[in-house]
Each structure stands twice: as structure tokens, then as C-alpha cells.
Amino acid sequence: MSAQPLLKVDNLKTHFTLSKPHPFATPQVVYAVDGINFEIERGKTFGLVGESGCGKSTTALSVLRLVEPTSGSVVLKDTDVCQLNRKELQRFRGNMQIVFQDPYSSMNPRATAGEIIRSPLKILKIGTAQEQHDRVGELLKLVGLRPEQRNLFPHQFSGGQRQRICVARALAPNPDFIVCDEPVSALDVAIQSQILNLLVRLQKELNLTYLFISHDMAVVQHICDDIAVMYLGKIVEKADRRSLFMDVKHPYTQALLSAVPTIDVELQQKATHLEGDVPSPIDPPSGCYFHPRCPRAEARCVKEEPLLREILPNHWAACHLI
């Protein structure tokens, strides 16, 4: 990582206290994000990967303060996002935007594409009405749509085109940093690569920095420079793409990689298959959170929590056996 990353996340925690079923009950806490650290260099893509329920989307929303973190810091370009008051945060939002998983549910079906793309400019009071109109035309072209499509409604576009509109909306205030929260998982496979290629092209042209959330190791391998694997609110392995895919260390990452389809018979035979689901973050297992599903678990794993350690230069893993 560079000395001055664009984004630095330090010991971020997001815990939710559930409402009590009766006044004398002990309040239950969901440890959705539980002390995670990472940095992203300007112009790079950092992937957060894991199964559904591992805390990756809550991490992304916490970084943007769309969900309020419990503690920790998120420094974007020398500004600690967690320390901003409501007004300052509103102004700062132009620097950090998000593309959601399901383009259709993230847009107003009664607004035109032009109105949707223009909405952040109106909220952030950027430019005159004419400048906003011109900017929408520019953005439509930038994402591969035609300026005259500004007057169409979301249902008149295909899924891939709707995601292009969401990307254009995210780009409208000219941000440095964009969170891509499973941006292709709701799309057909053929369309997925078009949207991924669009994100890669825009990153090069505009020097964008992405936090890319995905459950799909193949997608992460295609697009990310650095990757962290999350399990039950914690990072269990973190490395650059080459190191992670060439020399995977953690049994959970190995299992995720085994789930990627391959025609290599030898790899199929070595594959580790994950049994069961991610345990509840309300009452996580003792010791290593992964021990109930880990094929290599030992007695020590049930009692002691492994720390995330640097086991190779810039390659971190949390496992007693590494």
C-alpha cells in the first residue's frame, strides 16, 4: 500500500442492539462489523468478499455513513468521515458515491433517467439548471447511453442499461471514491462483463477509486487489485490479487475459491466444500469463528481466536495453522 492512501479504514465497528422482547431481557447485540482495517490507493479497486451475512455490505454502508458506525475511523482524503456533523457530511457526500446491487429498486420508477442522474446535483446544489442538464447529457454518453434516452423511464431500459444509469448517477457529482455493492450480481452473465468493463474503463479515464463488494471470487479476481475476505464481521485474509489467488492461505478463502467452477479435474478433487451457513453474528462461535465449518479445525481453534497476522509481505491471514 502507498504511504498516503485515498481511503483508510481503521478498527471500524458497527454493532446493532436489537430491541428487547420484554423489559427484563438482556439486550442482544449484532456484531455486524467487528474491528476491520484496510486502505485503498487512489485509482485502485479494493474487493471485500464473503458469503451473504458476513458483514461486507454493512462495512460498505458504514464507510459511507449510510449506516452509523459504532466506533473507528474512515479517513477519505484527510477527512475523517466519522467525525463530520450532518451538514458537513451532506456536503462531503459528493466525494463518495455508491452503485447498488439492484438498479431497479434503487431508482424512482416515476422519474426519468435524466431526473435520476441529475438528483445528486440537485441535492448537493451543484451547478445551474442548464449546467445540470448538460452534465446529464455528458454522463449518459460516458456510460454508453444516448443523450435522448434521458426522457425514458426505468422500465423502458434493460437491466444492464439501468445499471449504467446508476453508474451515471454515482458519477454526477464527480466523486473520487465509489462503493460498488454487488453491482453485477442481479444481472445476466452476458451483461455482467459489459458492466465490469464499463467500471474498469471509467476508472482509467477518471482515476476513480472503488470499494468493490462481491460474493463471487471470479468477479473479484477480474476487477480487484487488493482483496479482503470477510467472515462474521472480521477480515480473515487480505492480500493483493496475485498473492491471494496464487498462494491462498486461509481455509475459508480456500473454500470460497473451491466454489468457483473449474474444468480442472485435479482442482475439483482438492476442492473444499463449505457445509452449513454463516453462524449468527448475535452469538458467534467461541475461538475461531470459522471452526464449526473448518475442515482443519483443532482443539485450540475452539478456544482461542486467531489474530490477523502478516504471514508474507502484505499478505495477512487469521488462522492458528498458518
- Nearest to ligand SF4 of 229, 288 (CB atom): 288
Using CB under 6 A as the binding rule, whether residue 229 contacts ligand SF4 is answered as no
> Coil, helix or strand for 52?
coil
Q: How far is the CB of 319 from ligand SF4 (least distance, A)?
A: 3
Contact between 61 and ligand SF4 (CB under 6 A)? no
Question: Closest separation between CB of residue 231 and ligand SF4, Å?
Answer: 9
Residues linked to residue 214 through DSSP beta bridges, in sequence order: 49
Among 235, 254, 306, 316, binds ligand SF4 (CB under 6 A): 306
Pairing of strands 209-214, 177-181: parallel
**Window contacting ligand SF4 (CB under 6 A); options: 46-54, 130-138, 277-285, 288-296:** 288-296
Residue 297 found at the interface with ligand SF4 (CB under 6 A): yes
Task: Compute CA distances 210 → 70, 185, 197, 206, 251, whole Å.
Answer: 23, 17, 14, 12, 27
Position among 184, 187, 229, 288 found at the interface with ligand SF4 (CB under 6 A):
288
Give the largest Cα separation in the chain, rounded.
68
Binding of ligand SF4 at residue 291 (CB under 6 A)? yes
Task: Tell the burial category of 50 from Cβ atoms under 10 Å away from its Cβ (0-12, 13-18, 19+).
Answer: buried
- Give the x/- contact pattern for ligand SF4 in 232-261, rule: CB under 6 A: -------------------x----------
Q: Report CA 42 to chain centroid distance, whole Å.
A: 16
Taking CB under 6 A as the criterion, the residue among 15, 42, 241, 320 binding ligand SF4 is 320
Integer Rg of the chain from CA: 21
Under the binding rule (CB under 6 A), the answer on residue 31 touching ligand SF4 is: no
What is the secondary structure of 244-287 as a DSSP string? HHHS--SHHHHHHHHTS----HHHHHHPPPPPS-PPPTTSPPSS
Per the DSSP assignment, residues forming a β-bridge with 179 are 98, 211
Task: Determine, following the binding rule CB under 6 A, whether residue 309 of this chain makes contact with ligand SF4.
Answer: no
Q: Does 50 bind ligand SF4 (CB under 6 A)?
A: no
Q: Which is nearest to 278 in space by CA: 55, 67, 37? A: 55
With CB under 6 A as the contact rule, the residue among 46, 100, 212, 290 that binds ligand SF4 is 290
User: How many residues contact ligand SF4, by CB under 6 A?
Assistant: 12
Pairing relationship of beta strands 209-214 and 45-49 according to DSSP bridges: parallel
Stretch that binds ligand SF4, among 21-29, 205-213, 240-248, 294-302 (CB under 6 A): 294-302
Q: At what angle do helices 159-171 and 113-123 cross, to 10 degrees?
A: 20
Position among 301, 308, 315, 316 found at the interface with ligand SF4 (CB under 6 A): 301
In whole angstroms, the minimum distance from the beta carbon of 321 to ligand SF4 comes to: 5
Binding site for ligand SF4 (CB under 6 A): 251, 288, 290-291, 294, 296-297, 301, 306, 319-321
